[in-house]
Amino acid sequence: MKNLRPNLCIFLDMDGVLWTNSWCELAYKFEVKTNMELDPRAVSLFERLLTLLGCKVVMVSTWKHGKTVVEINKELNEKGCNFRINDKTEDIINRPQEITEFCKKHHIEDYIIIDDESYDGEHSENIVQTFCNSGFTIHEFKEVLNKVGVFKDARIKFIESRNE
Protein backbone atom coordinates (compact mmCIF):
# COMPACT_ATOMS: atom_id res chain seq x y z
CA MET A 1 0.00 0.00 0.00
CA LYS A 2 2.94 2.35 -0.39
CA ASN A 3 2.90 5.27 -2.83
CA LEU A 4 -0.79 5.96 -2.38
CA ARG A 5 -0.47 9.51 -3.75
CA PRO A 6 2.68 9.86 -5.91
CA ASN A 7 1.38 13.04 -7.62
CA LEU A 8 0.74 14.80 -4.32
CA CYS A 9 3.07 17.62 -3.33
CA ILE A 10 3.65 18.48 0.34
CA PHE A 11 4.82 22.02 1.03
CA LEU A 12 6.82 21.71 4.26
CA ASP A 13 7.69 24.31 6.84
CA MET A 14 10.29 23.28 9.42
CA ASP A 15 9.94 25.52 12.47
CA GLY A 16 6.85 24.47 14.41
CA VAL A 17 6.50 21.31 12.32
CA LEU A 18 9.66 19.21 12.68
CA TRP A 19 11.55 21.66 14.89
CA THR A 20 9.44 22.09 18.03
CA ASN A 21 9.73 24.19 21.14
CA SER A 22 8.99 21.21 23.39
CA TRP A 23 11.83 19.07 21.94
CA CYS A 24 14.33 21.93 22.25
CA GLU A 25 13.31 22.57 25.85
CA LEU A 26 13.50 18.86 26.70
CA ALA A 27 16.88 18.39 25.02
CA TYR A 28 18.26 21.46 26.80
CA LYS A 29 16.80 20.53 30.20
CA PHE A 30 18.21 17.00 30.16
CA GLU A 31 21.33 17.93 28.19
CA VAL A 32 20.51 15.44 25.48
CA LYS A 33 23.60 14.96 23.34
CA THR A 34 22.35 14.63 19.79
CA ASN A 35 22.94 16.09 16.37
CA MET A 36 19.19 16.04 15.92
CA GLU A 37 17.88 19.52 16.61
CA LEU A 38 14.64 18.33 15.08
CA ASP A 39 11.97 16.58 17.12
CA PRO A 40 12.61 12.86 16.50
CA ARG A 41 8.96 11.97 17.09
CA ALA A 42 7.74 14.52 14.54
CA VAL A 43 10.40 13.48 12.02
CA SER A 44 9.51 9.80 12.43
CA LEU A 45 5.81 10.46 11.81
CA PHE A 46 6.56 12.67 8.83
CA GLU A 47 8.82 10.01 7.33
CA ARG A 48 6.09 7.41 7.83
CA LEU A 49 3.64 9.72 6.04
CA LEU A 50 6.02 10.06 3.10
CA THR A 51 6.48 6.30 2.94
CA LEU A 52 2.72 5.80 2.77
CA LEU A 53 2.00 8.52 0.25
CA GLY A 54 5.12 8.39 -1.91
CA CYS A 55 4.73 12.10 -2.59
CA LYS A 56 7.09 14.96 -3.35
CA VAL A 57 8.27 17.40 -0.68
CA VAL A 58 8.85 21.08 -1.38
CA MET A 59 10.41 23.25 1.32
CA VAL A 60 8.69 26.56 2.07
CA SER A 61 10.55 27.17 5.32
CA THR A 62 13.05 29.92 6.01
CA TRP A 63 15.50 27.00 6.33
CA LYS A 64 15.78 27.12 2.51
CA HIS A 65 17.11 30.69 2.30
CA GLY A 66 20.50 30.85 0.61
CA LYS A 67 20.73 27.08 0.12
CA THR A 68 20.40 24.71 -2.79
CA VAL A 69 18.20 21.61 -2.54
CA VAL A 70 21.40 19.54 -2.31
CA GLU A 71 22.60 21.63 0.65
CA ILE A 72 19.20 21.38 2.36
CA ASN A 73 19.19 17.59 1.98
CA LYS A 74 22.74 17.35 3.33
CA GLU A 75 21.74 19.40 6.37
CA LEU A 76 18.63 17.29 6.95
CA ASN A 77 20.69 14.11 6.67
CA GLU A 78 23.18 15.46 9.22
CA LYS A 79 20.25 16.12 11.56
CA GLY A 80 19.17 12.48 11.31
CA CYS A 81 16.41 12.73 8.70
CA ASN A 82 15.87 9.92 6.21
CA PHE A 83 13.68 11.88 3.81
CA ARG A 84 14.69 14.16 0.98
CA ILE A 85 13.41 17.50 -0.20
CA ASN A 86 12.58 17.42 -3.93
CA ASP A 87 12.46 21.17 -4.46
CA LYS A 88 12.00 24.52 -2.75
CA THR A 89 9.86 27.55 -3.41
CA GLU A 90 11.38 30.80 -4.60
CA ASP A 91 12.12 33.42 -1.94
CA ILE A 92 9.21 35.83 -2.38
CA ILE A 93 8.78 36.54 1.39
CA ASN A 94 5.03 35.93 1.24
CA ARG A 95 4.72 32.16 1.77
CA PRO A 96 1.22 31.75 0.29
CA GLN A 97 2.39 33.63 -2.81
CA GLU A 98 5.49 31.40 -3.02
CA ILE A 99 3.23 28.34 -3.04
CA THR A 100 0.89 29.84 -5.63
CA GLU A 101 3.79 30.68 -7.94
CA PHE A 102 5.36 27.23 -7.48
CA CYS A 103 2.07 25.49 -8.27
CA LYS A 104 1.58 27.58 -11.42
CA LYS A 105 5.14 27.05 -12.63
CA HIS A 106 5.06 23.28 -12.05
CA HIS A 107 1.35 22.68 -12.87
CA ILE A 108 0.56 21.33 -9.40
CA GLU A 109 -3.07 20.96 -8.38
CA ASP A 110 -2.80 18.22 -5.75
CA TYR A 111 -1.01 19.58 -2.68
CA ILE A 112 -0.99 19.87 1.09
CA ILE A 113 0.75 22.52 3.18
CA ILE A 114 2.11 21.53 6.59
CA ASP A 115 2.92 24.68 8.54
CA ASP A 116 2.43 26.21 11.98
CA GLU A 117 1.13 29.40 10.36
CA SER A 118 -2.49 29.75 9.28
CA TYR A 119 -3.42 30.40 5.67
CA ASP A 120 -6.47 32.28 4.47
CA GLY A 121 -7.79 32.50 0.96
CA GLU A 122 -6.86 30.15 -1.82
CA HIS A 123 -4.76 27.74 0.29
CA SER A 124 -7.08 27.42 3.29
CA GLU A 125 -8.46 24.05 2.15
CA ASN A 126 -4.94 22.63 1.74
CA ILE A 127 -3.37 23.61 5.06
CA VAL A 128 -2.68 21.22 7.90
CA GLN A 129 -1.70 23.53 10.71
CA THR A 130 0.62 22.38 13.47
CA PHE A 131 1.44 24.06 16.77
CA CYS A 132 4.96 25.27 17.48
CA ASN A 133 5.18 23.44 20.82
CA SER A 134 4.09 20.02 19.60
CA GLY A 135 4.82 20.11 15.86
CA PHE A 136 3.76 17.28 13.56
CA THR A 137 1.85 14.77 15.69
CA ILE A 138 -0.46 11.83 15.03
CA HIS A 139 -3.32 14.35 14.88
CA GLU A 140 -1.78 16.16 11.88
CA PHE A 141 -0.74 12.81 10.37
CA LYS A 142 -4.38 11.73 10.34
CA GLU A 143 -5.53 15.14 9.10
CA VAL A 144 -3.23 14.91 6.08
CA LEU A 145 -4.54 11.43 5.29
CA ASN A 146 -8.13 12.63 5.64
CA LYS A 147 -7.53 15.64 3.39
CA VAL A 148 -5.99 13.53 0.64
CA GLY A 149 -8.65 10.85 0.99
CA VAL A 150 -6.48 7.86 1.88
CA PHE A 151 -7.03 7.58 5.62
CA LYS A 152 -8.70 4.18 5.56
CA ASP A 153 -6.05 2.46 3.43
CA ALA A 154 -3.18 4.18 5.20
CA ARG A 155 -4.59 3.35 8.64
CA ILE A 156 -4.56 -0.33 7.75
CA LYS A 157 -0.96 -0.09 6.49
CA PHE A 158 0.12 1.88 9.58
CA ILE A 159 -1.33 -0.80 11.89
CA GLU A 160 0.23 -3.60 9.83
CA SER A 161 3.67 -1.95 9.94
CA ARG A 162 3.53 -1.65 13.73
CA ASN A 163 2.90 -5.40 13.98
CA GLU A 164 5.94 -6.33 11.85
Q: Between the CA atoms of 42, 46, 52 and 54, what dihedral angle is there, to the nearest 10 degrees?
A: -170
- Determine, yes or no, domain membership for 4: no
**18 part of a folded domain:** yes
Count up the domains in the chain and report the number: 1
* Structure confidence by residue, pLDDT tens digits, 71-113: 999 999 988 889 999 999 998 878 999 999 999 999 999 999 9
Higher pLDDT pick, 103 / 154:
103
Which domain CATH number covers 106?
3.40.50
pTM to 2 decimals? 0.84
Task: State the Rg of the chain over Cα.
Answer: 15
Q: Can you tell me the distance from the alpha carbon of 74 to that of 113, in angstroms, rounded to the nearest whole number? A: 23
Quote helix, strand, coil % in the chain, to nearest 5. Answer: 45, 15, 40
Q: What is the pLDDT of residues 22-47, one digit of tens each?
A: 766 666 555 665 545 788 889 999 99
Expressed as residue numbers, the domain containing 105 is 9-162
Domain membership of residue 17 (yes or no) is yes
Concatenate the DSSP letters of all residues of 82-120 into one string.
Answer: -----EE----S-HHHHHHHHHHHHT--SEEEEESS---
Decide if 57 contacts 84 (C-beta within 8 A): yes
Bridge partners of residue 131, in order along the sequence: 135
